[in-house]
Structure 1
Amino acid sequence: MKTSNAGMELIKRSEGLELKAYRDSVGVLTIGYGHTFGVKPDDVVTPLQAEKFLRDDLSVAELTVNTSVKVKITQGQFDAMVSFVFNLGAGNFVKSTLLRKLNAGDYKGAAAEFGKWTFAGKKELPGLVRRRAAEKGMFET
């Protein structure tokens, strides 16, 4: 599966677009729509470059979901999990109770897991609360 336009918009809205490198809530250098690989403190990108970084980064998240999920899922469920992986990383996803419950066929239980991932650096962040609620809503459609 590939991320739909709705999934892409959720990620863009959640990440926001930053054309200059900045440190995220846990200190990671970030640019564009949440791109972190190889970012240097003085980096600047164009909106077109940010879009390319996003598409490249999404391919990794899509591959993670496509290879880890063993049950049939909807486009909304796929998009929600790609957003989740994009934000939290493949390692967190493959070890998550969310994935374990989903692969056991417990779709409702998997949906409930989104809300448990709202902390960064031991602090609950309002942006993550909103993002996880949006992902859960997309997962449940």
Structure 2
Amino acid sequence: MEISNRGTELIKRFEGLRLTAYRCSAGVLTIGYGHTRGVKTGDVITGHQADAFLREDLQVAELTVNTNVRTKMTQGQFDALVSFVFHVGTGNFTRSTLLKKLNAGDYAGAAGQFYRWIYADGKPLDGLRRRRTAERELFLS
């Protein structure tokens, strides 16, 4: 499967677009729509390059979901999972209870797991809560 425009727009909305390299809340150099690979201090890109980076990064997230989910998925479920993987990373997803429940066919249980991923440094963040709510709603659509 491939992410739909709806899923891509969700990611863009929550990542935001920054054309100059910056340190994200985790201290990682980031540019564009959450792109981190090879970013250096002072980097500046165009909107076109940000879109290209996003397409590359989405391929990794799509591959992760397509490789690790062993149950049938709707487009909404796939889009939500790609957004989730894009944000939390492949390793976190492949070790998650969300994936275990999904692969066991427990779709409702998997949907409930999105809210476990709203913490940074042990504290719940409103921005993460909003993103996980949007992903969960898309998953359930």
| Same fold, TM-score > 0.5, yes or no | yes
Does residue 103 (structure 1) correspond to residue 79 (structure 2)? The answer is no
Q: Give the Å deviation of 1:123.
A: 2.9
Q: Deviations over 1:51-104 (max 9, x none)?
A: 000000000000000000000010000000000000010000000000000000
User: Does 1:84 find its partner at 2:84?
Assistant: yes
Identity among equivalent pairs (%): 66
CA distance in 2, matches of 1:123, 1:37: 27
Could you tell me how far apart the structure 2 residues matched to 1:123 and 1:54 are? 28
- In structure 2, the residue matched to 1:58 is 58
What are the equivalent positions in structure 2 for 1:1-141 lying under 5 Å apart? 1-141=1-141
Deviation at 1:124, TM superposition (A): 2.1
Retained in 2: the 8 A contact 1:26–1:121?
no
Measure how far apart 1:41 and its partner are: 1.1
Deviant stretches of 4+, over 3 Å? none
CA distance in 2, matches of 1:23, 1:101: 34
CA distance in 1, matches of 2:21, 2:135: 26
In structure 2, the gaps of 5 or more residues are none
Task: Provide the TM-score with structure 2 as the length reference.
Answer: 0.98
1:119 CA displacement: 1.4
For residue 127 of structure 1, report the CA deviation from its aligned partner.
Answer: 1.1
CA distance in 1, matches of 2:38, 2:61: 17
Say if 1:119 and 1:128, in contact at 8 Å, map to a contact too: yes
Q: Distance in 2 between matches of 1:49 and 1:121?
A: 32
Amino acid at match of 1:63: L
SS at match of 1:51: helix
* Equivalent residues, number: 141
Distance of 1:109 and 1:44 partners within structure 2:
42
Shift in Å, 1:50: 0.2
Q: Which runs of 5+ in 1 are unaligned?
A: none
Please give the root-mean-square deviation of Cα atoms over the aligned residues, in Å: 0.6
